[in-house]
Structure 1
Amino acid sequence: MSRITILFALSCTLAFPTTAAAQGLTGPQKNAVRSAEAYLTMQGFSRSGLIEQLSSPYGEGYEVADATRAVDSLTVDWNAQAVRAAEAYLVMMGFSCTGLIEQLSSDFGEGFTAEQARYGAEQAGAC
């Protein structure tokens, strides 16, 4: 299997709108879905981090309710997102297992749940 095929398959598994959920979205929510999908192809995001990125005046500026509805309409493997985020941190610098989990789960860091952060750190090889 070629690298492009694998990357495409991976991006499709990480996030895609569910048909039933996507049908009830407003215009701004559909646009927020498109933005969310784009962000998810770039780097690992937690649910709360993605909502923050979409709703922040320094990000996309969507209403929090629209960003939340958009993110919740996607099927996202948040554990896989935590692994991607953990791997990105480890490329930049060394982290202890505890330090990486804290960075991934902190509200001032990535905002993953403690369980997602632990999974990401373990799968990335920090623990």
Structure 2
Amino acid sequence: MHKINTPALVTSAGLAALLLLSGCGAEEASSSTPAATVTVTQDTSEADQSGMTLAQQNALGSARDYLEYTAFSRSGLIKQLEFEGYSTADATSAVDSLNTDYNAQAAKAAQDYLDYSSFSRSGLIEQLMFEGYSAEQATYGVDQVGL
């Protein structure tokens, strides 16, 4: 069995370009209804920014943007922010300050995979674990899509 490589890590500038090319602004992109049957709402409004450095606040903004764009595991989001140039400490601080439901993220990721490929139940759980979701999160995600 092979693992599906996820799209290349996306820079925030690249994300903005993708949104502009698709004809969507950030607000339109986050409010458009995806083809997936799994709906994920992300509550990031209560992230406490007090005591955060400017770099951590910027990482937090990038993390919010990425979560509006696609599903991420905790470790995947930290890696994405590190790729963007944030330190591990700043990326981790930003990600951990969010109120992210990683079960819901796993469900969205599972649906995204099924939208473009076929998987067995065990294969999809394994793929989600490869992406950084825990076994429990991956199983939850696969359960939510009915596989």
Aligned to 2:75: 48
Aligned residues: 113
Identity between Structure 1 and Structure 2 (%): 51
TM-score by length of 1: 0.81
**Match status 1:120 vs 2:141:** yes
**Unaligned stretches of 5+ residues in structure 2:** 1-30
Aligned to 1:18: 46
CA contact (8 A) 1:100 1:121 kept: yes
CA contact (8 A) 1:85 1:120 kept: yes
Structure 1: 4+ residue segments shifted above 2 A? 4-7
Task: Report the structure, 1 or 2, having the larger helix content.
Answer: 1
**Match status 1:103 vs 2:124:** no
Aligned to 1:35: 62
CA contact (8 A) 1:17 1:73 kept: no
CA RMSD of aligned residues (A): 1.9
TM-score by length of 2: 0.71
Distance 2:43 2:74 in 1: 11
One-letter code aligned to 1:16 = T
Q: 1:41 to 1:5 in 2, by over 3 A?
A: closer
Q: Equivalent of 2:90, from 66, 70, 75?
A: 66
**Unaligned stretches of 5+ residues in structure 1:** none
